Amino acid sequence: MQRQVRLDGVSAGYANRAVLEQLSLHIPAFTTTAVVGPNGSGKSTLLGVISGVIQVTAGEVAHRTGRRAAFVTQRSRAADVLPLTVRDAVAMGRWGHRGLWRRLSKRDRDVVETSMGRLGVSSLAHRQLGELSGGQRQRVLVAQGLAQEADLLVLDEPTTGLDATAQRLIAEVLAELTEEGVTVVQATHDLEVAGSAGHVLLLQAGRLRGEGDPREVLTDDAIDRIWQLPRRV
């Protein structure tokens, strides 16, 4: 099994506040890894470390390739301050290929249109991003991630708060991407989604409590212990 990302003894956090402590784990290539755990367990910080937007304070992060990961957050700060259309927002995914000031090539434009089509937002192309519903905006951000054509796509709870149709669409697109040779990592609160992943990382208080096949990691006992749920009778 090829490894897309490997962490050895990694610690990371913010402004003198440690979040992750001595994490050693791996992300297998060409499948979906689900990152699960209670609020405050360090899921978002781990995604930032994996995607390279958060620097580690200790340990080592190694990637299978030198290509930059695509990181899809739950909210775009740009949408709050810039008058972006949906097409503009998705086209931002091509900046890593073309640079900020160079015009998009025909291929770039084709990638943008294809990415919008896959997420069902082509009809919104001329709408202002700030005018969209939360679900529509989230699909646009995922389309922006697709437009980067990265070999590693990292998503922070991409389906939280979405209706069933939008959740299903995003799940189908992510499954298609792994078949196309992309490695997907997503944080999720949905244990059903995590259970269908190829690999799972279970976090608690910044530490790794389980790793591997979801059927072996997400047992009833582990879930009760990590989320401190009452014992079943």
158 secondary structure, DSSP code: T
If one counts every other C-beta atom within 10 angstroms of the C-beta of residue 85, the result is 16
Task: Find the range with the poorest average confidence among 80-94, 95-109, 166-180.
Answer: 95-109
pLDDT band for position 233 (cuts 50, 70, 90): very low
The pLDDT of residue 44 is 94
Structural domain containing residue 218 = 1-67+189-233
The pLDDT-based confidence of 130 (bands split at 50, 70, 90) is confident
- Measured between alpha carbons, how far is 68 from 151 in angstroms, rounded to an integer? 8
Instruction: Find the mean pLDDT for residues 90-97.
Output: 87
Domain count, the chain: 1
**pTM score of the predicted model:** 0.92
Ranking 126-130, 141-145, 153-157, 177-181 by mean pLDDT, the lowest is: 126-130
Find the CATH number of the domain harbouring 4.
Answer: 3.40.50.300
**Given CA atoms 165, 167, 168, 170 in this order, what sign does their dihedral have?**
positive
**Does residue 199 fall inside a structural domain?**
yes
| Helices assigned H by DSSP within 99-219 | 106-118, 134-147, 164-179, 191-195, 214-217
Q: What is the pLDDT of residue 57?
A: 94
Domain assignment present for residue 60? The answer is: yes
Classify residue 207: in a domain, yes or no.
Answer: yes
Q: What is the pLDDT of residue 229?
A: 53
d(CA 159, CA 171): 8
Q: What is the pLDDT of residue 76?
A: 61
> Could you identify the residue written with the tokens 């209670």?
38
- Report the pLDDT value the prediction gives residue 232, as an integer from 0 to 100: 40
Which residue is it, tokens 């990691």?
217
Amino acid at the residue 50: I
pLDDT band at 231, cuts 50/70/90? very low
In a domain, 80, yes or no: no
Q: What is the dihedral of CA 209, 50, 14, 130, to 10 degrees?
A: -120
**Looking at the domain assignment, is residue 149 inside a domain?**
no
For the chain, the average pLDDT equals 91
Structural contact between residues 200 and 191, judged by C-beta atoms closer than 8 angstroms: no
Q: What is the mean pLDDT of residues 50-71?
A: 94
Tell me which of 217 and 135 has the higher pLDDT: 217
**Residue 131 counted as domain residue:** no
Question: Would you say residue 94 lies in a domain?
Answer: no
- Copy the structure tokens of residue 231: 């014992």
In a domain, 11, yes or no: yes
